[in-house]
Amino acid sequence: MPSVALRAIRGATRLSADDPIEMSAAVVELVLAMLERNGIDRDALISVIFTSTPDLVCMFPAAAARAVGLGDVPLMCAQEIAVPGALSRVVRVLAHAEIDRPRAEVSHVYLRGAEVLRQDLAQ
């Protein structure tokens, strides 16, 4: 039986506008892709941290994540540092989960133009 380890999974997505409908769709798409690509059941999630760039204020990204059954998972939102020239309208995710794959095999997910943030990790 393989051992189960605590792993961190990164992800990011980019919105075309600060709009709650788009925020919900983008966050749901990202969270589901992170779970699917890593074979993670929601029960394996320990916690999820969401950050957004300062130009996204329409809603909390965690509120959208609750719509996919993460109501009992500890979720937290924070704001990214306003670095001049940084990519705008970005939601980042750092999920902690118990999974049975080595760290090198964790699939980090970057969608909707956020792939440019970490081309070394984006798949």
The model's pTM: 0.89
Q: Catalytic annotation on 77?
A: yes
Is residue 111 assigned to a domain? yes
List the chain pLDDT tens, one digit each, 123 residues.
Answer: 456 789 999 999 999 999 999 999 999 999 999 999 999 999 999 999 999 999 999 999 999 999 888 889 999 999 999 999 889 999 999 999 999 888 888 999 999 877 787 656 545
Is residue 123 assigned to a domain? no
Which residues are registered as beta bridge partners of 10? 94
Is residue 90 assigned to a domain? yes
**Dihedrals φ, ψ of 116, to 5°?**
-65, -20
Q: Catalytic annotation on 89?
A: no
Alpha helix stretches (DSSP H) within the chain: 20-37, 61-65
Give the chain's domain count: 1
Q: Catalytic annotation on 10?
A: yes
Which residues are registered as beta bridge partners of 110? 12
Is residue 13 assigned to a domain? yes
Domain that holds residue 16: 5-115
Is residue 100 assigned to a domain? yes
Catalytic residue of the set 7, 14, 89, 110:
110
Beta strands in 27-118 (DSSP E): 45-52, 75-79, 90-99, 109-110
Q: The domain spanning residue 45 has which CATH number? A: 3.30.1330.40
Catalytic residue of the set 80, 98, 101, 115:
80
